[in-house]
Amino acid sequence: MSDTIGQIGIIGNGSWGTALAKILTDNGHQLYWWVRNDEAILSLSTRHHNPHYLTSVRFLPGTIIPTKDLAGMMAICDTLIVAVPSAYAQGVIDQIPAEVWKTKKVISAIKGILPNANLLLNDYMTETFGMPLQQYVAITGPCHAEEVAYERLSYLTFSGLNDGLTGNVAQAFRNSYINTTHNHDIWGAQFAAVLKNIYAIGAGIAHSLDYGDNFLSVYATNCYREMYGFLQNHFEKVHPSDEHPDFHTSAYLGDLLVTCYSLHSRNRTFGAMIGKGYSVKAATLEMNMVAEGYYASRGMQAISAQYQIAIPMASVIYDILWQGLPAQTCFARLEKMMS
């Protein structure tokens, strides 16, 4: 299979999918875009913007071809960007036969774990559909969709085992407001993106519990230490290679920091609402969007147990979100873990 990208399709029209569509159309690519909502299709077709997410972004006429026909889009496109929240991704991608996925290049813009399988998207697609890993590239940050909308300088990291394809994908996204890098660390980069969302929920909870910046700086330091330990152990136990990933780069530490500190972070916002006493359901309804760290916190407990790699700080957030334990009590426990 050629390393060229060819015709691109996007699955999912949330804020992140919209930001990625903006980058690619700004760079001259025409996109097919699978959208569930009739109102969004009409708006993208006639007013050339997404009526629900990043509404300030305008697309040039002819650059976007919105469609509800997923199978039809799959037949046309060579490369598919999966930008559906992880909680819903499995239900979407399972609609397409394995024989079709085997012939496509897949770019994952999912920053979570598929909750019904407790797997990263690449592991699910190789195990379920037999899709070769050489056809897979993962996008990580640090990058917020809102800053892409304003064309503020942002950074994307692309991880894949096929240098030719990964480099071509990185080049397709590079422009005056997007810097790109690429590496081979599919699993580490994605697990870092999963973990940082969990830790960002904790940062939001801490803010609402009236912890200050001094605490948050120590909290983020300890989160990174735990993340680094998980990635290091996972690399050594599960996917060892001669090329050791550099975990001290922006895709790991940088993405953690921006997600914990930024007011654009939906996971931090979700955590702040939990800290104020909102239930998970109420916080989700209020935000009208998915906080990936919520489902990730449960999935990472299963993965931590499977590989016997402890993540005690992430476990505290799990206890608050899934076990219903009081945030204040759990954070008193968290304080004793930190140094």
Tokens representing residue 303 in the block = 């993965």
**Best CA proximity match to 70, nearest among 90, 49, 89, 96:** 96
The reported pLDDT for the residue numbered 183 is 93
The reported pLDDT for the residue numbered 334 is 95
> Can you list the domains of the chain with their CATH numbers?
8-184 (3.40.50.720), 187-337 (1.10.1040.10)
pTM (global) more than 0.75: yes
| Cα 111 off chain centre by | 2
Cβ contacts of 19 within 8 Å, gap of 6 or more: 54, 57, 143, 145, 148, 149
Half-sphere exposure of 203 (CA within 13 A, CB side): 31
Bond prior to 142 in cis (omega within 30° of 0):
yes
Average pLDDT along the chain, 339 residues, taken 10 residues at a time: 93 94 97 92 92 92 95 96 94 94 96 92 96 96 92 96 97 97 94 96 97 96 97 90 83 92 93 95 85 94 95 98 96 92
| Burial of residue 260 (number of CB atoms within 10 Å: 0-12, 13-18, 19+) | buried
Could you give the angle at the alpha carbon of 245 between the alpha carbons of 240 and 248, nearest 5°? 140
